[in-house]
Structure formats: structure tokens, C-alpha cells
A and B are shown apart, each in its own frame.
Chain A
Amino acid sequence: MSLNTEALPKSQEVTASPEAAPQPWEPRIVGFACNWCTYAGADLAGLSRLQYPPSIRLIRVPCSGRVNPQFVIRAFQRGADGVLVAGCHPGDCHYSTGNYFTRRRFLLMQRLLEYMGMDPRRFQARWISGSEGPKFQQTVTQMTEDIKALGPNRKMRDVE
């Protein structure tokens, strides 16, 4: 649960020299990927040399059911522009039933975020299996485009 961006060394954040032209804004998406399906799917996307925007930061979790709604809120607080929770297709969970609970929990969570004034497109959940490298690519590309259109997230955020 260490989403604290302050913990990162400063050198990783500052890459451009001051006189370089300002970089176009790129969204930051935090992706929670289930170890058994989506993480393998992302790996396959990489192995297959599929191009997708570097906007996503993957956090590997044992199961999409591991993802606590508080992780999502904290990610938005600490500067994420979007959050993706991804796991196995229903019926394929390594732990049999984990993602069924994920489905209920995050359907509710997405509606709550919308009620609180967040754009629901900033929070997504997807089922991506270990053989769906292209689907991982498409999901990240699509989400990046959506969030680019929405612009940087200022809501619930406590870091600049």
C-alpha cells in the first residue's frame, strides 16, 4: 500500500533539463494487475512487442479481489489520473471466486466515485487473461486516450 510518490528518488521524476521544450502532458494511470492473468497478459504484450503508451504503472497483486477500495482512493490522492483494476475473467480466478467479489465491489465503487463527482471513466476494471496481450494493449491505449481527453485529475488530489 505504498503509493507515496514522495518515496521515489527525485532523480527519477526530473528527466528533462530546464531549457528543453515542455513535454506534452501524459496521464498517469495506476494499474492493479492480478498475478495470474493480467500480469501475464501484460508480460505477453511486452514479449510480443506490442506498443502501448507508457502511462500505466502496474502494481502486481495476488488477485483482483486483493484490491481494496482504499487503494483506489489513495492512488487518486497521490496523483493518479486514472486507476485500472484488472484480473482474470469470471470463472477463471486462480482462487476460484476472488474476481466475482471484485466485480460486485468495484461496480459499487465506480458508482460511488461518480456520486462523489469523479468522472467514472477515470476508474475502470477489466478482465484480461494471460493470453490476451493485445487486449491489454488496447485497454491501456483506450484508457490513456480517454483520460487525455479528460485532462489531469484535480479531484481528491493532495499532491501537486
Chain B
Amino acid sequence: MITEKIRAAAKELLEKGEVETVIGWERGTFWYNSTPVFISKPEQADRLVFDDFCANNLAKYLLDYRNADGKIAVFVKGCDARAITRLIQDNQVKREKVYLIGIPCTGMKEAPKTVSSQDVAGLPLLAKCQSCATPNPVIYDILLGDPVPQKEVGNRFAGVEALEAKGADEKYEHWGKLFSECIRCYACRNVCPACNCRECAFDANGLNWLGKQNNLQENQMFNMTRAMHVAGRCIECGECERVCPMGLPLMDINRKIIKDLNELFGSYDAGLNLEDRPPLGQYKLDDPEKFM
């Protein structure tokens, strides 16, 4: 049982004093939500769980421990591990300051529509887990459990290609309808492991990067700018889409950028390899020359 294993691992690390904090998941208010937990004493290790609802990406919390003295242990699923690679590449955390406990993940479940029956097996996988390409962590110190086989995922760009085929006005209408629903709560930014700037352009008041009014134009500005900011660094964890309270298909934008980057500058998957540099942070002399 994986929960026992993670409790034992956390307990051991804290007892030995190897790490000062362990970031994991605990049982939330309801049986279908498991929330992040931060423990620093061995006796608290029994609060940790790993079940079908640990969708939260814990990597982002490391930013709160940037100045911690000791090591921080984090449980990482496949997508979380890519996020850790992202943060290390962005110089936000140091590899030697984190202890990564890898957990192979078969996918997380959606919260049920009704709460009466506790039928976990019957619940569908989260959208982000259905197209998961990395169920096993790509970076870890210890791995709990055996690696799981990778699922057969179809063409992840199918949605993007369908949109690309539409006419210009049709596309504009499609996005306009979606962006006018955006309430600019910035949940997508707050959860995104690629959005790790100390001060975000959207929070800067005086610089006029983004107006404060909630209208279509400013929402377009926000969403397009965010797409360009995370371009080449998006790890396709799908967290933005999962946390969006308006249910906007934000990965359609991020996947479009990834598709174009792959077409233009060669295949690249962010967060898989520490040595690879993001495509917009480098150049080649023989890049496609469409401009004269």
C-alpha cells in the first residue's frame, strides 16, 4: 500500500533530520479531496495519504521554501517531477536543497458529481491525466513502488488542429466567447510551475502592463501574454485547466505553442531533461527565416 510507504519514508527522513519539512497530501474535508500538507515532525507523518485525488502539484510550494536552511522533501508524481525540473532550470530551487520522493502515478480521478456513493473506481480520470505522457517521475531520489507502464495516448494536438482549420473570424469568435468568461482570478498563473517570477507582470500596478478592468480586451491580453510567457517552458501538466473556475480550455493555447515550437525549432518537451534549454532562450543560425 503506497500510503504506508510514503508515511514510513517521511517518518524516516524527519527522524534522521535529513529534511526539515515534508510536503505531501493529507485527507481533505471530504473523501474526494486530498489537500497539500506540510509536516515537520515525525509523529505527523501519519497524516500523509496518497489516493486517487492527490491531483495538486506540490512543486510550486517549494517557492515558499526558497530561503529555507535545510532540505525540503517533496512527493512527486510524473507531472510534478517535470515541474521540479522546470523550477531547477529556472534557478528557483537548487537540486541539492530538495529531496524528491517519486511516486509512479496511474492518474487522478475527478471529484464526483454527487457525494452520496463512494464509488471511486467508477469515477473518470481527470482530463489532464487522460493525456499524460509521463506517469513515472523523471527526476527523484527514491522511487516508491514500481514504475507503471505508459498509457497509449492519441494525438495530443488533435484539438489544436481542429481549431487551426477554422476560419479567422470563427476562431476569433471562439476565443472571444471563452475569454469573455474569464474572471481573471489568476488561478492558472498561481498554480503554474512555469509562472515563478518573483513579481508577475500582471501584479505590477504602475507599469500599465495590464489594465485592471475585466473586459474582453484585457482578458485577451492576459491570456495571450501568459501563453507567451510560459512558451517553451510549459510542462503540459494541465493544472491551469484543472483549476480554472470557469472551465476554460487553456491547454488548447499552451498546446498550440508547443506544437508550433516543435514544428519550427525541433522537438522539445519541457521538464524532461535538466540539460535541455527552452527553445525561446536559445537560437540557431539556421532557424526558419520567414521574415525577410
Chain A interface size, under 10 / 10 to 19 / 20 to 34 / 35 or more: 35 or more
B264 touches A158 (CB 8 A): no
Proximity string of chain A (82-115) to chain B, C-beta cutoff 8 Å, 1 when within and 0 when not: 0000000011000001001101111111111011
Shortest beta-carbon distance, A110 to chain B, in Å?
Answer: 8
Q: A116-B175, A117-B173 are in contact. Are A103 and B228 (CB under 8 A)?
A: no
B221 touches A77 (CB 8 A): yes
Report chain B residues within 8 Å CB of A101.
280, 283
Assess whether A119 is interfacial by the CB under 8 Å rule. yes
The residue in chain B whose Cβ has the minimal distance to the Cβ of A120 is B168
B291 touches A115 (CB 8 A): no
Assess whether B208 is interfacial by the CB under 8 Å rule. yes
Report chain B residues within 8 Å CB of A73.
220-221, 224-225
Assess whether B96 is interfacial by the CB under 8 Å rule. no
Q: Give the interface SS of chain B, mostly helix, strand, loop or mixed.
A: helix
Assess whether B289 is interfacial by the CB under 8 Å rule. yes
B217 touches A77 (CB 8 A): yes
Proximity string of chain B (265-290) to chain A, C-beta cutoff 8 Å, 1 when within and 0 when not: 10000000000000110010101111
Q: Choose the segment among A13-21, A31-39, A52-60, A122-130 that binds chain B (4+ C-beta atoms closer than 8 Å).
A: A122-130
Shortest beta-carbon distance, A139 to chain B, in Å?
Answer: 9
Report chain A residues within 8 Å CB of B225.
69-70, 73
The residue in chain B whose Cβ has the minimal distance to the Cβ of A110 is B290
A108 touches B287 (CB 8 A): no
Shortest beta-carbon distance, B292 to chain A, in Å?
Answer: 6
Report chain A residues within 8 Å CB of B201.
70
Proximity string of chain B (223-263) to chain A, C-beta cutoff 8 Å, 1 when within and 0 when not: 01101100100000000000000000000010011001100
A90 touches B289 (CB 8 A): yes
The residue in chain B whose Cβ has the minimal distance to the Cβ of A101 is B283
Shortest beta-carbon distance, B115 to chain A, in Å?
Answer: 39
B256 touches A127 (CB 8 A): no
| Cα-based distance from A127 to B169 in the complex (angstroms) | 30
Q: A115-B164, A117-B169 are in contact. Are A156 and B291 (CB under 8 A)?
A: no
A112 touches B220 (CB 8 A): no
Report chain A residues within 8 Å CB of B289.
90, 103
The residue in chain A whose Cβ has the minimal distance to the Cβ of B171 is A117
Shortest beta-carbon distance, A160 to chain B, in Å?
Answer: 12
| Cα-based distance from A127 to B291 in the complex (angstroms) | 7
| Cα-based distance from A123 to B255 in the complex (angstroms) | 22
A118 touches B283 (CB 8 A): no
List 18 interface pairs A-B (beta carbons < 8 Å), by A numbering: A1-B207, A1-B209, A69-B224, A73-B221, A73-B224, A101-B280, A104-B264, A104-B265, A105-B280, A108-B260, A111-B256, A112-B228, A115-B163, A116-B171, A116-B172, A116-B224, A126-B291, A156-B220
Rank and list the top 10 A-B pairs by shortest CB-CB distance, nearest first: A117-B172, A100-B283, A117-B171, A158-B217, A125-B291, A69-B228, A111-B260, A117-B168, A77-B217, A115-B256
